[in-house]
Structures are given as structure tokens and as C-alpha cells.
């Protein structure tokens, strides 16, 4: 058991390094969106729920896993968004205990409005010389990092059953190695 805890500590140290590496850009995203979030009456956690539900249908449980926030925080954000007409919450056909979050058309418009306001602020903050190249390169790097973080590489060998297996597919064996 102590060996497992020691390995988990190493894993947490790696995650801490990752968080420290992208914290400045995350803070920039927060600052760029904060004004419009306030105008729309959204909290940052509610916007996260909205953003993830705009991308695709997602369960409240998955949102809790991604954020590490307590259950009541995600539930509160989902209820607020549902009362505001920005998302619809339904029960899964396979398991009625699973609550699924889907963005509405109004939610998609609010999401776009917040991101457009942030994009305008970012554009004004980047020097004009080399702006297209800088923004293009930064966008590609962030998009790739988001793909890697949300993909199977984010898992450690302690995380069992987090990826939904498709019927007819077996579990892949062996350690995950960065490509």
C-alpha cells in the first residue's frame, strides 16, 4: 500500500508541474472572459459546464471528474444553467441515475458571445507585428494540448474504468507512452 501511495505522490508532483506550466495561460483565459461572464451573469464553473456541453453531451459525473469540484458545485452550476435555459438536463436511457447535460441553442449563443468578447480583447493585447503568426501558433499549441489532456494520456494506471469501452472492443493492454 505504501508503494502505491508513493507512486501516487510522484503522479501528483507531475500534475503539479503541468498545472504550473499552463497556469499563466489559464489565468489569461479567465481574465479575458471575466467581463463578459459577469455581463451574462455566469460564474466560471457554470461557463465551464456550458462550454463542455456545447462541445458534446456530457454527464454531470464526468464534469465532476474533470474539475475535481465537489458534487454540489457542479450540480449548482447545472441547475443554474438549466433554469436560465442555457442547457437541458436529461436522464440517461441506460441508467436513470446518470444526468446528461446538453447545451440549448441559447446556450450556444451565450458561449459564442463570451468567446468572441475574449477574442477581441486578446487581439487588442497582442502586438500588431506578427499578430497572425503568433495567434496561429499559439492556437495550434493550445488545441493540441487540449486534445492530449482530454485524451487517454491524461489517465494514470490507477484510473480504472474511466474510458467507456465500445461494444466489441477489448481493453488495451500495456502502459501508455507519449507519442
pLDDT digits (tens, 9 = 90+) for 96-127: 889 999 999 999 999 999 988 888 888 888 88
Q: What is the mean pLDDT of residues 138-165?
A: 58
- Local confidence band at 136 (pLDDT 50, 70, 90 cut-offs): confident
127 - beta bridge partners?
none
The CATH code for residues 10-118 is 1.10.10.10
Question: What are the distances in angstroms from CA 148 to CA 45, 96, 143?
Answer: 22, 31, 9
Ranges 10-24, 48-62, 128-142, most confident: 48-62
End-to-end CA distance of the chain: 31
- Local confidence band at 50 (pLDDT 50, 70, 90 cut-offs): very high
Place of cell 446538453: 102
Give the contacts of 78 (CB within 8 A, at least 6 positions apart): 49, 60, 63, 87, 89, 99, 101
What SS3 state is found at 102?
strand
Computed over every residue of the chain, the mean pLDDT equals: 77
Model confidence at 5: pLDDT above 60: no
Q: What is the mean pLDDT of residues 137-146?
A: 78
Cβ atoms of 106 and 53 within 8 Å: the answer is: no
pLDDT at 14: 67
Share of the chain above pLDDT 70, in %: 70
Domain boundaries, the chain: 10-118
Q: What is the mean pLDDT of residues 68-93?
A: 94
- Local confidence band at 24 (pLDDT 50, 70, 90 cut-offs): low
User: Which three three-digit cell numbers place residue 140?
Assistant: 495550434
What backbone phi and psi angles, to 5 degrees, belong to 103?
-75, 145
Model confidence at 54: pLDDT above 60: yes
> Using alpha carbons only, how large is the chain's radius of gyration in Å?
19
Amino acid at each position: 500500500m505504501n508503494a502505491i501511495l508513493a507512486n501516487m505522490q510522484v503522479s501528483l508532483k507531475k500534475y503539479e508541474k503541468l498545472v504550473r506550466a499552463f497556469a499563466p495561460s489559464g489565468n489569461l483565459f479567465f481574465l479575458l472572459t471575466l467581463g463578459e461572464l459577469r455581463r451574462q451573469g455566469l460564474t466560471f464553473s457554470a461557463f465551464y459546464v456550458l462550454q463542455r456541453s456545447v462541445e458534446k453531451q456530457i454527464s454531470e459525473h464526468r464534469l465532476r471528474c474533470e474539475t475535481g469540484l465537489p458534487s454540489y458545485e457542479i450540480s449548482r452550476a447545472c441547475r443554474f444553467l438549466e433554469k436560465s435555459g442555457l442547457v437541458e438536463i436529461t436522464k440517461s436511457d441506460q441508467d436513470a441515475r446518470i444526468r446528461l447535460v446538453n447545451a440549448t441553442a441559447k446556450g450556444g449563443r451565450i458561449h459564442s458571445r463570451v468567446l468572441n468578447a475574449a477574442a477581441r480583447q486578446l487581439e487588442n493585447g497582442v502586438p500588431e507585428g506578427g499578430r497572425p503568426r503568433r495567434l496561429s501558433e499559439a492556437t495550434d499549441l493550445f488545441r493540441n494540448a487540449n486534445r492530449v489532456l482530454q485524451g487517454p494520456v491524461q489517465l494514470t494506471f490507477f484510473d480504472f474504468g474511466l474510458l467507456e469501452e465500445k461494444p466489441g472492443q477489448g481493453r488495451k493492454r500495456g502502459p501508455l507512452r507519449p507519442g
